[in-house]
Amino acid sequence: MTKVIALAFEDVQLLDITGPLQVFSSASSLDEAATYETEIVSLSGGPVRSSAGIVLESSPASDIASFEAATVLIPGGPGIHRMQAEFQDEMCSVIRRAASEGARIVSVCSGALLLARTGLLDGGTATTHWRWCEKLAQEHPEVHVDHDAIFSRINGKLWTSAGVTAGIDLALALVEEDHGRSLSIAVARELVVFLRRHGGQAQFSAALLRQGATDKGEFDALHAWILERLDQRMTVETLAAQCCMSPRSFARRYKDATGRTPAKAIEALRIESAARLIGETSLSIPQIATRCGFASRTHLVQAWKRQLRGSFPQR
């Protein structure tokens, strides 16, 4: 039995807790070998009101006899920023105790701010919600902050993740580490997770960034057209014709509207599609490269490093 313990507090972000806990619960229901037992604790126990207004029942953290072999989840939420220093110190004491007893410590969203306060992140690379990356870097200069990652692994016992739904991605990665890739993918399908993301992926979807690039959404139809043809060669002339514009006018207008050249935007969409195929299919890397419009595996790896600034995943 592997205990997964979420540390709650007033005004905690509800999904930071329920998202990851549901991943572990679903893993247990899908595979008898995945014997996860989930629990919510707080400093004093009893009802804890989340930022969504939903009240969570919790046990006192002091009731935990041992954190050995447990996974301790530190969520974020508005309450992180309203904690009195004394309360923060008590929370940090619980986290340090769990770490000293051999627990795997993971933070979600702004929970990284509390985790950093323990000193456990010192010298490591951590991430958090994009809104709080600068705050984490300023308050804890001893921590290297990755502003883009979905989640980061400091070592086998210490992980951090970006905002809200990134906690689900992190939980899926933990299930994969514990019980293999097949179960992780099965859980993602069970929960209808659209895209099982790797930790090195950017916090923002390339497609979402392109969709929200302008208030008018003038290139939304073009982006949908591109996504259906990623395996095809696309030139500025081809894209301009699709928009009924001259190549020169299109290139200028597109960069003004989206902040990227058409070539850079297409590369980002291709890498995002490749990441999805790597995570969700058994296709070979050369097959994925071809399907996403890259000339070879080498071109895919080079583009991956440009876009995600991380190592290419091993198959």
* Mean pLDDT, rounded, for 12-39: 96
User: Mean of the per-residue pLDDT values for the chain?
Assistant: 89
Give the residue from 156, 190, 224 where a domain finishes.
190
Residues 41 and 142 in one domain: yes
Higher pLDDT, 313 or 265: 265
Report the CATH number at residue 108. Answer: 3.40.50.880
Domain assignment of residue 76, given as a range: 2-190
In a domain, 120, yes or no: yes
pLDDT of residue 175: 95
Residue 31, helix vs strand vs coil: coil
Report the CATH number at residue 282. Answer: 1.10.10.60
Residues 281 and 253 in one domain: yes
Q: What is the CA radius of gyration of the chain?
A: 21
- Find the range with the poorest average confidence among 99-113, 123-137, 217-231, 242-256: 217-231
In a domain, 314, yes or no: no
* Mean pLDDT, rounded, for 148-172: 89
In a domain, 247, yes or no: yes
Note the helical H segments in 191-261: 206-211, 220-227, 236-242, 247-258
Which residues share a beta bridge with 105?
Answer: 72, 158
Structural domains in the chain (count): 2
Distance CA 262, CA 278 (A): 24
Which residues share a beta bridge with 39?
Answer: 5
Query: Which H or E run contains 38?
Result: strand 36-42
Residues 224 and 163 in one domain: no
Query: Which H or E run contains 47?
Result: strand 46-49
Distance CA 75, CA 108 (A): 5
Residues 257 and 124 in one domain: no
In a domain, 261, yes or no: yes
What percent of the chain lies above the pLDDT cut of 70? 91
Residues 86 and 137 in one domain: yes
- Find the range with the poorest average confidence among 100-104, 196-200, 300-304: 196-200
Distance CA 68, CA 164 (A): 26
* Mean pLDDT, rounded, for 65-87: 93
pLDDT of residue 290: 96
pLDDT of residue 98: 97
Residues 280 and 146 in one domain: no
Give the residue from 190, 221, 241 where a domain finishes.
190
Question: Is residue 188 predicted with pLDDT exceeding 50?
Answer: yes
Question: Which value, to the nearest 10 degrees, does the dihedral of the CA atoms of residues 81, 85, 86, 87 take?
Answer: 10
Residues 178 and 212 in one domain: no
Distance CA 275, CA 288 (A): 9
Residues 150 and 10 in one domain: yes
In a domain, 201, yes or no: no
Residues 296 and 183 in one domain: no
In a domain, 195, yes or no: no
pLDDT of residue 204: 46
Q: Are 12 and 77 in contact (CB under 8 A)?
A: yes
pLDDT of residue 147: 84
Residues 167 and 236 in one domain: no
In a domain, 197, yes or no: no
Residues 40 and 168 in one domain: yes
DSSP state letters, 80-143: HHH--HHHHHHHHHHHHHHHHTT-EEEE-TTHHHHHHHTTTTTTSEE---GGGHHHHHHH-TTS
* pLDDT classification of 150: cutoffs 50, 70, 90: confident
Residues 17 and 98 in one domain: yes
Q: Are 285 and 299 in contact (CB under 8 A)?
A: no
In tens, the pLDDT along 273-282 reads: 898 888 778 8
pLDDT of residue 214: 52
- SS3 of the chain: helix, strand, coil, percent, to 5: 50, 15, 35
In tens, the pLDDT along 228-246 reads: 899 999 999 999 999 999 9
Question: Is residue 203 predicted with pLDDT exceeding 50?
Answer: no
In a domain, 298, yes or no: yes
Helix axes 247-258, 262-280, angle to 10 degrees: 60
Using alpha carbons only, give the angle 24, 283, 302 rounded to the nearest 5 degrees.
95
